Structure 1
Amino acid sequence: WRMDETYIKVKGEWKYFYRAVDKEGNTIDFLLTAKRDMKAAKRFFKKAIKRNGLPELVNIDKSGSNKAALKSINKEDSEAPKVDPIVIRQCKYLNNIIEQDHRNIKRITRPMLGFKNFYSAQKTLAGIELMKMIKKGQMIGGDGLSPAGQFYSLAA
């Protein structure tokens, strides 16, 4: 996995949008939080692991909160039998995939000049991520359909 966070403006204040992608650039998970601390990072990792399983390796930037959260998860999992710890790799260049992926979100949200409330920001960002996942062909059952066809199949 490659994991990073970016800033999103909500009510004139910066909030933190955590995202993870795999090595092909496919979205693994995302979460909008009010704070950028170990608690928020741990909540993001727990959510991503619950939905996608335990990763072998996670590439992160030099963020101390992300590293502390992963170490905490490793400590919890070390008590479980036959669970290998998550390898933590801190290298900013290996996160170029996700940094470029952030650019698409910023491109869409910048003209909005921020969001009025946290709830609308969460829902709008979830919709943006869903559309990106459809374009990347990540929707289950969307084989052979165009992105528009996949989108319309959601409503059916």
Structure 2
Amino acid sequence: MMTERGVPVDHSTIYRWVQKYAPELDKQTRWYRQVPDWQARSWRVDETYIRVGESGATSIGRSPTVGMPWFLPVPKRNVAAVKRFLAKTLRSNTITGFPRVINTDKAPSLARAIAELKSEGICPQTVEHRQVKYLNNVIEGDHGRLKRILGPKGAFKNRTSAYRTLKGMEAMHSLRKGQGAMFAYGQPNPDAVIVSRVFEAA
């Protein structure tokens, strides 16, 4: 886009823009991306693998289709990582409250983490844990979209840059899927309208 306008921009400049503005984009558009309370009561949790540095990290995330796309890059796919992610999500999701049901695949670490969070009082006993793989087809599709954007290497230099970049990507994906469109009703590109509005206000 910048080249078309005759403005030479180095790739490192684009990188710095992403690191600075992606978290701000996520923060400023959160209000627009809220979903109805009844819809946010069903969570979908899954994990996918991305490379960070010389090793790898697992980005464990809740489906963006039911509200805010929470994710957390962690070094290992284990019970501790799942507990850390779910505890953060449960504590942060104060607007819509606790979920009615958490949908996961049949990974043992997910079941054990949810059971431990219930025993520790972090997750209410009333929350149902449903292990049915096909219910997470939507979030599996989001993983595929993420991998296509990142390309075949799909690597970040460090966990901080991965976290910041993913924040912006998930925020824009939510808006492009129509979350928040009601706040730009009748506009041909509601996602662009919302982004322009929030940054003008900021």
TM, length-normalised to structure 2: 0.67
The aligned counterpart of 2:176 is: 135
- What amino acid sits opposite 1:55 in the alignment? P
Equivalent residue letter for 1:29: W
Structure holding more strand per residue: 1
Instruction: After superposition, give the CA deviation of every residue in 1:92-120 in whole Å (9 maximum; x if it has no partner).
Output: 11111110111111111125641111111
Q: State the percentage of identical aligned residues.
A: 36
In structure 2, the residue matched to 1:152 is 196
How far the C-alpha of 1:154 sits from its partner, in A, is 2.7
Q: Which has the higher contact order (CA 8 A, sep 6+)?
A: 2
Q: 1:122 aligns with which of 163, 171, 182?
A: 163
1:42-121 to 2 correspondences below 5 Å: 42-52=83-93, 53-77=97-121, 83-110=124-151, 113-121=154-162
Structure 2 spans left out of the alignment, 5+ residues? 1-42
Aligned length: 152
* CA drift at 1:85: 2.7
2:198 partner amino acid: L
Distance change (3 Å), C-alpha of 1:44 and 1:139: farther
CA shift digits 1:48-107 (9 cap, x unpaired): 1123221111111121111111101111239x9xx5432111121111111011111111
Larger Rg: 2
Q: Secondary structure at the match of 1:35?
A: coil
Which residue number corresponds to residue 29 of structure 2? Answer: none
Alpha-carbon separation, structure 1, partners of 2:178 and 2:75:
30
Verify the 8 A CA contact 1:9 1:114 in the aligned structure 2.
yes
RMSD across aligned C-alpha pairs, in angstroms? Answer: 2.4
How far apart, in 2, do the equivalents of 1:96 and 1:25 lie? 13
Which consecutive segments of 4 or more residues in structure 1 shift more than 2 A?
24-28, 136-145
Deviation track 1:109-156 (CA, whole Å, cap 9, x = no partner) reads 125641111111111111111111222343498442511111122322
- Structure-2 separation of matches of 1:31 and 1:140: 27
Deviates more, 1:113-122 or 1:137-146: 137-146
Which residue, out of 59, 63, 70, partners 1:17? 59
> Are the counterparts in 1 of residues 147 and 154 from structure 2 also a CA contact under 8 Å?
no
- Is the partner of 2:130 in helix, strand or coil? strand
